[in-house]
Copies of this chain bind each other. A is one copy, B any other.
Amino acid sequence: MTSIHDLATPALLVDSGALDHNLAVMTEALPGERLRPHVKATKCTALARSQAARGHRGFTCATIREMEGMAAAGLGEDLLLANEVLDAARLGALDARVTVAIDSPETIAAAVRGGVREVLIDVNVGLPRCGCAPERAGALGDAARKAGLEVRGVMGYEGHVVGLEDATERAKRCRESMALLLAAHADVGGDVVSAGGTGTYACNTVGTEIQAGSYSLMDTAYAKLGLPFVQALSVWSTVVSVSEKYAVADCGLKSLGMDHGNPDVEGAAVWFCSDEHLTFAPEQPVSVGDRIRVLPAHVDPTVAYHERLHLVSGDEVVDVWEIDLRGW
């Protein structure tokens, strides 16, 4: 048995009890096809396999590499690339059911050229990112069908809403976004209305499927929302230097996604991160060699830095999962 105290640091830890809890809560809320887990947050086919075992057979991906890795892992029953791509040939070559988001004539042409057969019309529901204007969705759907593509329906990601801390406001703005998506869906047709994320998994009752990913591991940003998911992910770090007013641990900018700000350390104030260092002021004295759990502010870009995650129960490492969907 490997103990976490024997691991080289920094190392990603996933509390297996917390993970199980999160997976179970979500499956109860959104069973089977109601959830299309997004793999971008975790980039780990082993974790996806445990989601599939709970009945979620369709998955959402953000990159071609994620699609390839999921197909290679035998998890290609119904893969959605919820993103626009111009080089779809790698997708067309996959031994999997592949659906790709399109929002323009160019992405329709790319899907056809690449040998992709099924698409969703990606609709902008308020986040200034990909997706066509809602009123253009019908025409794009027609154009896609005319080009020989099967149009399964629509998708629209309310990414500007999922992180709102006020639950009432979040639900209200989610409804507004989904009204746009429903209008587009009326024009496009098809069985699928794909939407949502961890922050709106409960209030988004419009999506036929919800693309949540972060719920399985969680981060300190989502923790502020009062969701029934618990923090499963941490970066295990060693205290390498101690001064009078602060201490330094061996994780930093290359083991933590920083776009949501500094990570948290329980019982300590985090001062700043450097490439391989975290400077923090602990409330209780720490010693060189002590190990601490650092809680990332944003799960997705944190996981993407690491080669593997260590599934732990207490201090025991019960499994090691490769983060095998990194890169592009």
Are A304 and B271 interface neighbours, CB within 8 A? no
A130 partner residues in chain B, CB cutoff 8 A:
240-241, 248, 277
With both beta carbons as reference points, the residue of chain B lying nearest to A63 in the complex is identified as B276
Are B271 and A106 interface neighbours, CB within 8 A? no
Q: How many copies does the complex hold?
A: 2
**When the two chains form the complex, which single residue of B129, B159, B248, B253 contacts A257, counting CB atoms closer than 8 Å?**
B253
With both beta carbons as reference points, the residue of chain B lying nearest to A262 in the complex is identified as B259
Interface size on A, residues (CB 8 A): 58
Return the CB mask of A283-319 against B: 1 if under 8 Å, else 0: 0000111000000001011001111000000000000
12 of the cross-chain contacts (CB-CB < 8 Å) are A40-B275, A40-B276, A106-B287, A107-B240, A124-B243, A129-B274, A130-B248, A159-B274, A253-B298, A253-B300, A258-B301, A305-B305
Give A contacts to B, CB under 8 Å. 8-11, 40, 62-64, 83-87, 103-104, 106-107, 124, 128-131, 133, 159, 238, 240-243, 245-246, 248, 250, 253-255, 257-259, 271, 273-277, 279, 287-289, 298, 300-301, 304-307, 327-328
